[in-house]
């Protein structure tokens, strides 16, 4: 029996970058693109691009490059963007509201189907056609409607409780925008997104440049 190839996370994280660039090139009418051109656009070596894509099959021909439309469609399928994914947002403060209002989700296959908060002044208000529901209804709602991805943007001290509710309901993909790390069982995909940490890593590089 064949053993499934384990794809490194760093490779998976680059695939959306490739897909976004190919979508732009396709919209511009490009028919063929080389790994050299892709690499120059993305700051990745051509060899790395070829290696990344080789995990999923053979998409180009030596000396002829890649068909933009074909590779775009292949990556769309690999990333699961040829289907629709149900997303909910828990926590409609400034960050949660910005996420819920982002216009780019629908065109990429993500449907924000519900919003939740605990603040009385937010419950019942409407954002982009969605009425904010009381977070106390989350558990019961999840029993009635399957959800693919949960976006957690609550105050950090409530993050674990919200994540536990999502996991218990079978939600296996979670974006955690709180400063707190959360614990999940194996099989649940979690991404911790903390803008402050990214800024701090950037200031490290700025400091190194200024001191050199």
Q: What is the pLDDT of residue 1?
A: 37
Residues found in the chain: 212
pLDDT in tens, 168-188: 999 999 999 999 999 999 999
Distances (CA, A) of 59 to 56, 70, 71, 75, 172: 9, 8, 7, 10, 30
Last residue of a domain, one of 29, 57, 78: 78
Which band of pLDDT confidence, cut at 50, 70 and 90, is reported for residue 3? very low
Q: Is 194 exposed, middle or buried (0-12, 13-18, 19+ CB in 10 A)?
A: middle
Could you tell me which residues come within 8 angstroms of residue 128 by beta carbon, excluding any fewer than 6 positions away? 100, 101, 112
Q: What is the pLDDT of residue 63?
A: 66
Residue 188 and residue 133 share a domain: yes
Rounded-to-integer distance, Cα 72 and Cα 53, Å: 12
Residue 133 and residue 63 share a domain: no
Q: Residue 212: inside a domain, yes or no? A: no
Average pLDDT, the chain: 91
Q: Residue 204: inside a domain, yes or no? A: no
Task: Please provide residue 67's backbone torsions phi and psi, each rounded to the nearest 5 degrees.
Answer: -70, 120
**DSSP category for residue 178:** S
Average pLDDT over residues 74-87: 93
Q: Residue 201: inside a domain, yes or no? A: no
Residue 138 and residue 102 share a domain: yes
pLDDT at 140 over 90: yes
Domain that holds residue 54: 9-78
Could you tell me which residues come within 8 angstroms of residue 26 by beta carbon, excluding any fewer than 6 positions away? 68, 69, 72
Helix ranges (DSSP H) in 28-177:
35-42, 46-54, 68-78, 94-101, 138-144, 159-168
Residue 118 and residue 183 share a domain: yes
Structure tokens at 45: 């070596």
Q: Residue 25: inside a domain, yes or no? A: yes
Which band of pLDDT confidence, cut at 50, 70 and 90, is reported for residue 148? very high
Q: What is the pLDDT of residue 66?
A: 93
pLDDT in tens, 22-72: 999 999 999 999 999 999 999 999 999 999 999 998 886 666 889 999 999
How many angstroms from the chain centroid is the CA of residue 104? 12
Residue 16 and residue 72 share a domain: yes
Beta bridge partners of 65: 61
- With residue 85 as reference, give the H or E element that holds it: strand 85-90
Distances (CA, A) of 182 to 3, 54, 84, 88, 199: 31, 34, 27, 18, 21
Rounded-to-integer distance, Cα 126 and Cα 101, Å: 11
pTM, full prediction: 0.84
Q: Is 138 exposed, middle or buried (0-12, 13-18, 19+ CB in 10 A)?
A: buried
Residue 147 and residue 62 share a domain: no
Residue 98 and residue 25 share a domain: no
Residue 91 and residue 145 share a domain: yes
């Amino acid at each position: 029996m064949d053993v499934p190839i384990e794809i490194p996370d760093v490779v998976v994280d680059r695939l959306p970058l490739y897909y976004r660039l190919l979508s732009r090139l396709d919209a511009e009418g490009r028919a063929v693109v080389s790994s050299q051109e892709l690499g120059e656009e993305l700051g990745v070596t051509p060899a790395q691009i070829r290696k990344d894509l080789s995990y999923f099959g053979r998409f180009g021909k030596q000396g002829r490059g890649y068909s933009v439309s074909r590779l775009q469609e292949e990556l769309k399928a690999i990333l699961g963007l040829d289907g629709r994914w149900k997303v909910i947002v828990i926590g409609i403060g400034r960050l949660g509201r910005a996420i819920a209002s982002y216009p780019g989700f629908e065109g990429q296959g993500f449907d924000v189907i519900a919003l939740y908060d605990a603040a009385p002044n937010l419950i019942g208000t409407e954002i982009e056609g969605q009425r904010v529901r009381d977070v106390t209804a989350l558990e019961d709602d999840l029993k009635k409607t399957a959800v693919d991805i949960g976006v957690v943007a609550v105050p950090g001290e409530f993050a674990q409780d919200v994540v536990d509710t999502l996991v218990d309901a079978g939600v296996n993909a979670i974006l955690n925008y709180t400063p707190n790390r959360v614990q999940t069982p194996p099989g649940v995909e979690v991404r911790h997104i903390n803008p402050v940490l990214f800024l701090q890593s950037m200031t490290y590089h700025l400091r190194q440049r200024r001191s050199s």
